[in-house]
Structure 1
Amino acid sequence: MHELSIAQNIVEIVGDSLSTNGGGKLKSVKVRIGELAGVVPDSLEFCFTAITRGTTMEDAKLEIERTGIVGRCADCGTDSAVEGLVFRCPVCGSVEMKMTSG
């Protein structure tokens, strides 16, 4: 369950940012997680809620945006969404795709 360590890192980064910027009330934390990250959103939310309980971040909502897989063709330079796990350029048909996000 690496969601716990991810939630701990989020809380640490946000806490440092709050301290640096004079504190204040935190309403939400937005994160983007790629499809291939292997993160279970419900587990991450659960861990975030558990870690922030009793802190100044307790009422903050964790907003998770899932991002799709995007690849860049090494042959023609096209960036395109990857459907399933088929890394093939939709423009030139090359399989020389490098994942750029997701």
Structure 2
Amino acid sequence: MHEMSLAEGVLQLIEDAARKDHFAKVTTVWLEIGQLSGVEPEAMVFCFDAVTRDSVAQGARLEIMTLPGTAWCMACAETVPMAEVFGQCPQCGGYQLQVTGGTEMRVKELEVE
């Protein structure tokens, strides 16, 4: 379950921001997770709740926004939607694809007190 280490990384970012910007509590965390990132949103919520105990983010609501997967199809010469990393082009059926989006995960915003 790599979501645990990802949640720990998110908490580290939050704690760094709390020290830098002098806030005591986080109430909401908006997290962008790409559809092709391999991160399970439900597991991320569970792990986030576990790692944020006794921290500035304890009890914070985790809002997950899913970013769509996209790829450049070399045969079609255009960007196409991707549902899975090694899928085929939905337009031409080819497999010559370069993933261009949907693999990322980032903290988009924090609501703090």
TM-score, L = length of structure 1:
0.79
Distance 1:2 1:76 in 2: 35
Distance 1:40 1:89, change over 3 A: closer
**Which structure would you say has the larger Rg?**
1
| Structure 1 unaligned blocks of 5 or more | none
State the SS of the aligned residue for 1:65.
strand
SS across alignment from 1:81: strand
Which is bigger in relative contact order (C-alpha 8 A, separation at least 6)?
Answer: 2
* Percent sequence identity over aligned pairs: 28
Unaligned runs of 5+ in 2: 103-113
Structure whose residues are more often helix by fraction: 1
User: Which deviates further from its counterpart, 63-72 or 5-14?
Assistant: 63-72
The number of residue pairs the alignment matches comes to: 100
* Structure 1 residues 52 and 66: CA distance shift in structure 2, 3 A: same
8 A Cα contact 1:78 1:89, kept in partner? no
Question: 1 or 2, which has the higher strand percentage?
Answer: 2
Structure 1 partner of 2:58:
58
